[in-house]
C-alpha cells in the first residue's frame, strides 16, 4: 500500500492537485477534505493531476465526483490530467470520461 500524497500548486487557470499513491477507502476522505477546503472562483479550473496515482478504487472515483460537484458549486470547472490506464478504464466503463475533460498532462489541462 502506497500512502496518499498530495501537492497543491497554482496555475493561471486555477489550482492543480498532484495526487500520488493509493486513492482508496482509507485515503479518499483526506482528498475530499482537501478539495472542499479549496476556494474556487467562478471560471477557474481545478486540475487533478493523476500522473502519480498508483491505485484507485470506487471511493477514489467518488472523491473525483466530489471535486466535480465542488467545482460546479463554485461555477468553476474540473479536469483530470495524466490519468493512468487502470483508472481511465474504470472512468470509461462508468461513463465519467463524458463528464470529466481528460488531458494528457497538467500542462495541457492548464491551458487557458
Please say if the pLDDT value at position 97 is more than 90. yes
Let me know: does 52 contact 21? Beta carbons within 8 Å: yes
User: Crossing angle, helix 58-73 and helix 28-37, to 10 degrees?
Assistant: 10
What pLDDT score does 1 carry? Answer: 76
Instruction: Give kind and range of the element (H or E) at residue 80.
Output: strand 77-81
What phi, psi does 84 have (nearest 5°)?
-65, 150
Question: What mean pLDDT is predicted for residues 71-88?
Answer: 97
Domain ranges of the chain: 5-109
In the three-class reduction of DSSP (H, G, I as helix; E, B as strand; rest coil), residue 9 is classed as strand
User: To the nearest whole percent, how much of the chain has pLDDT over 70?
Assistant: 100
Q: Which three cell numbers stand for residue 37?
A: 477546503
CATH code for the domain defined by 5-109: 3.30.750.24
What pLDDT score does 82 carry? Answer: 98
Let me know: does 87 contact 97? Beta carbons within 8 Å: no
- pLDDT band at 45; cut points 50, 70, 90: very high
Average pLDDT for the chain:
96
Amino acid at each position: 500500500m502506497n500512502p496518499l500524497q498530495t501537492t497543491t500548486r497554482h496555475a493561471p487557470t486555477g489550482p492543480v492537485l498532484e495526487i500520488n499513491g493509493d486513492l482508496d477507502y482509507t485515503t479518499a476522505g483526506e482528498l475530499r477534505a482537501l478539495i472542499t477546503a479549496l476556494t474556487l472562483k467562478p471560471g477557474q479550473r481545478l486540475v487533478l493531476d493523476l500522473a502519480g496515482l498508483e491505485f484507485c478504487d470506487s471511493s477514489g472515483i467518488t472523491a473525483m465526483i466530489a471535486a466535480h460537484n465542488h467545482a460546479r458549486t463554485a461555477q468553476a470547472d474540473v479536469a483530470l490530467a495524466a490519468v493512468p490506464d487502470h483508472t481511465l478504464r474504470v472512468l470509461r466503463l462508468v461513463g465519467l470520461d463524458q463528464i470529466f475533460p481528460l488531458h494528457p498532462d497538467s500542462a495541457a489541462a492548464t491551458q487557458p
